[in-house]
């Protein structure tokens, strides 16, 4: 929640989804999204790579920020265009900077 709070402080409206399935449902219901931030490991169901691909179907131009502790090596093979990866641990300011740079 600290990450969501940091983004909200900079004017972003944040919707948190607990699972990849929740993210899929959210993406299908929304009309517009400025940026998607996803962890790679989301438990059972779709992972962050899958969520990003689904997001591309729904919002082809939306930038994506991946967060991971151990999946950075897969970024080149799994990522979608117009995306960046932030490796854990990181400061919330790094997330805000990545989101800002992609959504401007």
Supply the pLDDT for residue 41: 95
Q: Which residues of 16-37 are buried (b: 16+ CB within 10 A; e: fewer)?
A: eeeebebbbebbeeeeebebbb
Delimit the domains of the chain by residue range: 2-103
Spatial distance between the Cα atoms of 38 and 48, rounded to a whole number of angstroms = 5
Q: What's the pLDDT score for residue 1?
A: 64
Distance CA 5, CA 72 (A): 25
Spans in the chain with pLDDT lower than 70: 1, 104
Helix (H) or strand (E) holding 48: helix 48-58
> CB under 8 Å to 47, separation ≥6 — which residues?
20, 40, 41
Q: Which CATH superfamily is domain 2-103 in?
A: Response regulator (3.40.50.2300)
């Amino acid at each position: 929640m600290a990450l969501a709070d940091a983004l909200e402080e900079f004017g972003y409206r944040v919707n948190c989804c607990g699972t990849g399935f929740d993210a899929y449902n959210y993406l299908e219901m929304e009309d517009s999204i400025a940026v998607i931030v996803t962890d790679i490991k989301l438990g059972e169901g779709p992972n962050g790579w899958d969520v990003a691909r689904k997001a591309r179907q729904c919002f082809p131009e939306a930038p994506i920020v991946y967060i991971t502790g151990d999946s950075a090596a897969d970024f080149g093979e799994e990522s979608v265009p117009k995306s960046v990866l932030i490796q854990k641990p990181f400061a919330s300011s790094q997330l805000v900077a990545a989101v800002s740079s992609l959504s401007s």
